[in-house]
Amino acid sequence: MLNKLLKGTDVAQILGISRALAYRLMAQGQINSVRFGRTVRVRLEDLDLFIRRNMTNPMVQSENGNAVISNLRLLGKDSGLGGSHEQTR
C-alpha cells in the first residue's frame, strides 16, 4: 500500500519553513523526492529521514525508532494534511 505523497507546501508547513526553501531542499537532494513531469512529491518516510539526519538531539526517539514519523502523522492530522482535528483539554 502506498502512503500519501506530500506536496512542497505540506513539507514547508510541517517543517515550519517557506515553500521556496522546501523546494530548494528537494532540488538539492537534501530531502528525497519523487518526480513525475514537473510535479515533485515527498514520501512521509523521506521527510522523516531528513528530520532524523538533521536532529541536534538524536535521543528524542521512541523504542522502535518511529517517534518522528508518528509525530508527523499526528501533525498531519492537525494541519489539514489528512484526518480530522480534535481538540482536547
Q: With respect to residue 30, please indicate whether it lies within any of the assigned structural domains.
A: yes
Domain of 69 in residue numbering reads as 5-78
Q: With respect to residue 83, please indicate whether it lies within any of the assigned structural domains.
A: no
Half-sphere exposure at residue 48, Cβ-oriented, CA atoms within 13 angstroms:
18
Strands 34-36 and 39-43: antiparallel
Q: With respect to residue 84, please indicate whether it lies within any of the assigned structural domains.
A: no
If you average pLDDT over every residue of the chain, what do you get?
A: 78
- Could you give the number of structural domains in the chain? 1
pLDDT at 53: 94
As given in the structure block, the three cell numbers for residue 87 are: 481538540
Half-sphere exposure at residue 37, Cβ-oriented, CA atoms within 13 angstroms:
1
pLDDT at 84: 38
Give the pLDDT mean for 51-75: 65
Strand ranges inside 1-89, DSSP E: 5-6, 34-36, 39-43
Residues 68-89 pLDDT 10s: 555 565 555 555 554 433 334 3
Residues 20-34 pLDDT 10s: 999 999 999 999 999
Q: With respect to residue 63, please indicate whether it lies within any of the assigned structural domains.
A: yes
Q: Looking at the DSSP assignment, which residues form a beta bridge with residue 6?
A: 42
